Structure formats: structure tokens, C-alpha cells
């Protein structure tokens, strides 16, 4: 099967519109027209598009290697297992982890639930030894932030409900940045878990991960990082950031849906009780009890997302070959272009840091007098795809005085012309809806 990938460029060379236009040739869906207009896809923060090389990797698996992994001795089973484990090695290296420190999951939400429910399993029953490190009880505290996606909030709410631990949160400033003074005051001897996002999916704020990790480790707390909005968009090294766990989703980083990952320090994963149980994660089973494999297999019960893992490996190769630093710099420039343009439009309130302050390549905003859903439909009529609603972050929106916002998010395949088309369309929203002052 023919390979479809743009030429590799040296990492020192900045991305520009000319190269981005070549990159776009790898993404057939970007040729789509919406309502007679060229598609401007600014919703990669929700789900990214797939290059041909990723789609081909999944197709090739089904055409040539489809079989169950870790189960058979026949040729196809061995080939499938090789693809599956090679993919693990590729993706683990992409985030700076060892092979045995990457657990496949359905997505990041499943990964966060895996961690939280495993901690819960360590908190009940006859758990002894190293697993006691994860046990929570009355008097213990789990600490999150006010900017969390629901996926990194509700599992901890449930864990605290089951164990009697207390859930607390680090507040944010009015510009969406984390209150680090409050963080220093809240992280203490009672803190057992600090769970926070690397990049806010609403404001684009990039949190100081290494600093927060150091503060948590001073009190022997475990650090759980939501890397959904960072793994696709900037260089990620979980060892350098010194986090204990991290989660990410493939569908936000050029891969298909149905695949994601949990990074965990090897010694921690091996000590954690399993979350899902069944086939493929056991050593021996009797009618009375079972023994469990070491990580990562102890957390991978049942049939795994084999073709999706192969496709995710192809996606990380595509990102690596393009250069994560280059991608981050390009998106940061697009994000600043969006924020500057939005700030210049009357009746627009941008959430998060003002222009000139570092942020990811996304911008959420409020249009005075127009509901976010109406804004989204207006933009869709112009062929521009954005996200509307609370973006699975109701507490954050409530803190900012809103029920919903409109979010435009970029990726390596977006051009400055697309950002300008988006800004021109936003400038016409209030006039179209007859809002006073427009």
C-alpha cells in the first residue's frame, strides 16, 4: 500500500503556511465543502482529523494481520501481537515512557476512571503491601483544580464518595490562570492525590506541571496529569515532568476513536489493584481466586483495540516527523492571532489570558447578546466548524460567569487564512442577530 506522508523537515525550521498547505494534502476530509463553503475545521480540541497514513495503518492491519493478540501460536496471532506491542513501544517513546508503563484504554476518560477506581479498590477489602499507598479514607484529601474537564473531576468525586476522603480544588484567577499561592496553601500533609490538566480545554492556559508535581511530591502525594490537550500539541515527556500518572486520547492526536492511554510509573502500576478483570490479565485462575499479570497487561482485560493502537502509533510517527516543537509554535502563533482578532471585535469577550500571554492554539469566547449555539450555527453556515457549549467544564464556566461559550481550536493543518476567515465571520455575528450596538 502506498505511503502518504509529507516530507520530514528539520525541527529548527518553523512551520509556515506553505508547508501547512502541503500537510493538508494528507487529510482528505479537509477538501470537504459545508453549505457551499470550503470547510474551515477549528474543532480539533474536540476531535482531530486523520491523515492518510493513519487510516492506511488501520486498514493494513485488517487486510493482513487481523487476529487476537497474546492468545494464539499461529502466524496471524503472532503478527497481530507484534503490531500491538510495537505500537505500545512507539507511543510510549512518544511521551517519554517505558513500554511497560503504557496501558491501552478506550480514551482518557476511561484512563482516569481506571486510576480512580483502582485507588478505590485499594481502599476496601483486604489490601496489603505496596497497594496500601493508594488507599484513601476519612481525613485524606484529593485535590483538583477549578479548570478541570468533567473527566478529571467526576471520577474523583466518586472516589471520595466511596472512601470518605475530601475533594478540594485549587481556584483560578479571573484570567483563567491557576492560583499558585492557593495551590501552595492547599497541598499539604492530608493531600493524597493531585489531579490536574496540563492545558485547559477552555482557556488554553498551560499549567506549570513540573512545579505542581514538585509541590505534591514534597508531601508524598500522587500526581495525575490530564494530557488530553497537551500530548497532541506540544512536546510531552512524562518523566521530565515527574508525574506519576498521565492520560491522553488518540482521537485528539490524529488517531481514530476508541484508543487512548494511561502512563504510570512501573512500580506504581505493578502495585495497583486491577480495575477490569477477566481474560488476558491473569496468571492462574481457580474457582476460588485469581492471580494477575504485571502491568500493563493487568489492566487490559478482554479483547484490546488492536487496529486502533496501530493507527495511534502511525499518528505519533506523523507528529514526531513533523516536529512537536514546530507544531506547538505554529499553533501558539495561530492562537495569538485568534485572540488579537477577537479582542478587536466589539462585543466579544475572550476567556483566558489576553493576547501576548502564552496559551495553546485555541480561544473560547462570548458574543454579547448572542447565545453560543447561535454563534456556532452562524459560523457553520459559513463553513466554519467550532465547538459550542460548556466544553465539559461547567464549574469553570460558572466561575467565569457563563453557561456556555464558543471555542475555536487549531492544529497543524490550519492556516492563517482560515483563522482570518473565522475572525471575519465572527465580526458579522452581532449584526446578523440585530444586537444593539453592532
Instruction: Dump pLDDT digits (tens) for 355-391.
Output: 999 999 999 999 999 999 999 999 999 999 999 999 9
CATH classification at residue 421: 3.90.1150.10
436 has pLDDT over 90: no
Same-domain status, 263 and 364:
no
Residue 6 pLDDT: 45
Owning domain of residue 414: 17-50+323-428
Residues 299-315: tens digit of each pLDDT:
999 999 999 999 999 99
Decide: helix, strand or coil at residue 194. Answer: strand
Q: What is the mean pLDDT of the chain?
A: 95
* Beta strands at 191-197 and 222-226: parallel, antiparallel or unpaired: parallel
Check if the beta carbon of residue 5 is closer than 8 Å to that of residue 318.
yes
Report yes or no on 2 lying in a domain.
no
Of the candidates 320, 345, 361, which is a domain's last residue? 320
CATH classification at residue 238: 3.40.640.10
Residue 3 pLDDT: 43
Residue 129 pLDDT: 73
Report yes or no on 173 lying in a domain.
yes
Residues 117-153: tens digit of each pLDDT:
999 999 886 666 778 889 999 999 999 999 999 999 9
Of the candidates 291, 320, 349, which is a domain's last residue? 320
1 has pLDDT over 50: no
Percent of the chain with pLDDT over 70: 96
Q: Which of 287, 272, 223, 258 is nearest to 108 (CA)?
A: 258
3-state secondary structure 79-123: HHHHHHHHHHHHHHHHCCCCHHHEEEECCHHHHHHHHHHHHHHHC
Residues 27-47: tens digit of each pLDDT:
999 999 999 999 999 999 999
Residues 172-210: tens digit of each pLDDT:
999 999 999 999 999 999 999 999 999 999 999 999 999
Report yes or no on 22 lying in a domain.
yes
Same-domain status, 77 and 222:
yes
Same-domain status, 316 and 327:
no
Same-domain status, 31 and 82:
no
Percent of the chain with pLDDT over 90: 92
Same-domain status, 390 and 333:
yes
Active-site residue set = 392
Answer whether 0.85 is exceeded by the pTM: yes
Amino acid at each position: 500500500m502506498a505511503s502518504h506522508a509529507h516530507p520530514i523537515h528539520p525541527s529548527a525550521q518553523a512551520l509556515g503556511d506553505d508547508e501547512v498547505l502541503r500537510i493538508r494534502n494528507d487529510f482528505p476530509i479537509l477538501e470537504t465543502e459545508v453549505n457551499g463553503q470550503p470547510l474551515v475545521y477549528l474543532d480539533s480540541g474536540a476531535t482531530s482529523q486523520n491523515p492518510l497514513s493513519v487510516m492506511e495503518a488501520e486498514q493494513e492491519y485488517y487486510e493482513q494481520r487481523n487476529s487476537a493478540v497474546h492468545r494464539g501460536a499461529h502466524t496471524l496471532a503472532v503478527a497481530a501481537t507484534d503490531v500491538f506491542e510495537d505500537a505500545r513501544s512507539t507511543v510510549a517513546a512518544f511521551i517519554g515512557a517505558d513500554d511497560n508503563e503504557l496501558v491501552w484504554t478506550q480514551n482518557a476518560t476511561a484512563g482516569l476512571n481506571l486510576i480512580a477506581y483502582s485507588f478505590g479498590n485499594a481502599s476496601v477489602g483486604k489490601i496489603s503491601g505496596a497497594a496500601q499507598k493508594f488507599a484513601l479514607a476519612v481525613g485524606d484529601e484529593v485535590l483538583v483544580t477549578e479548570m478541570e474537564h468533567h473527566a478529571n473531576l467526576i471520577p474523583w468525586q466518586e472516589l471520595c464518595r466511596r472512601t470518605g476522603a475530601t475533594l478540594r480544588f485549587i481556584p483560578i484567577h479571573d484570567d483563567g490562570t491557576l492560583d499558585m499561592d492557593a495551590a501552595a496553601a492547599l497541598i499539604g500533609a492530608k493531600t493524597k492525590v493531585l489531579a490536574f490538566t496540563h492545558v485547559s480545554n477552555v482557556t488554553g492556559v498551560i499549567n506549570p506541571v513540573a512545579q505542581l508535581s514538585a509541590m505534591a511530591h514534597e508531601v508524598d502525594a500522587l500526581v495525575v496529569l490530564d494530557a488530553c490537550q497537551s500530548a497532541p500539541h506540544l512536546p510531552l515527556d512524562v518523566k521530565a515532568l515527574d508525574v506519576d500518572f498521565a492520560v491522553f486520547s488518540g482521537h485528539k492526536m490524529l488517531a481514530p476513536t476508541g484508543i487512548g492511554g494511561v502512563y504510570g510509573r512501573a512500580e506504581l502500576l505493578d502495585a495497583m489493584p486491577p480495575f477490569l478483570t477477566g481474560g488476558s490479565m491473569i496468571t492462574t485462575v481457580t474457582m476460588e481466586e485469581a492471580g494477575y499479570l504485571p502491568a500493563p497487561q493487568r489492566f487490559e482485560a478482554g479483547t484490546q483495540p488492536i487496529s486502533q493502537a496501530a493507527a495511534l502509533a502511525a499518528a505519533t510517527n506523523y507528529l514526531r516527523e513533523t516536529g512537536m516543537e514546530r507544531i506547538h509554535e505554529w499553533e501558539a502563533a495561530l492562537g495569538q492571532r485568534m485572540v488579537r482578532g477577537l479582542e478587536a471585535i466589539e462585543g466579544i469577550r475572550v476567556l483566558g489570558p489576553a493576547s501576548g500571554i502564552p496559551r495553546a492554539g485555541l480561544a473560547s469566547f462570548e458574543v454579547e447578546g448572542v447565545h453560543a449555539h447561535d454563534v456556532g450555527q452562524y459560523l457553520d453556515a459559513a463553513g466554519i466548524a467550532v465547538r459550542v457549549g460548556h466544553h465539559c467544564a461547567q464549574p469553570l464556566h460558572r466561575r467565569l460567569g457563563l453557561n456556555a461559550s464558543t471555542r475555536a481550536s487549531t492544529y497543524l493543518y490550519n492556516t492563517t487564512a482560515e483563522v482570518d476567515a473565522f475572525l471575519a465571520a465572527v465580526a458579522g455575528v452581532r449584526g446578523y442577530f440585530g444586537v444593539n450596538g453592532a
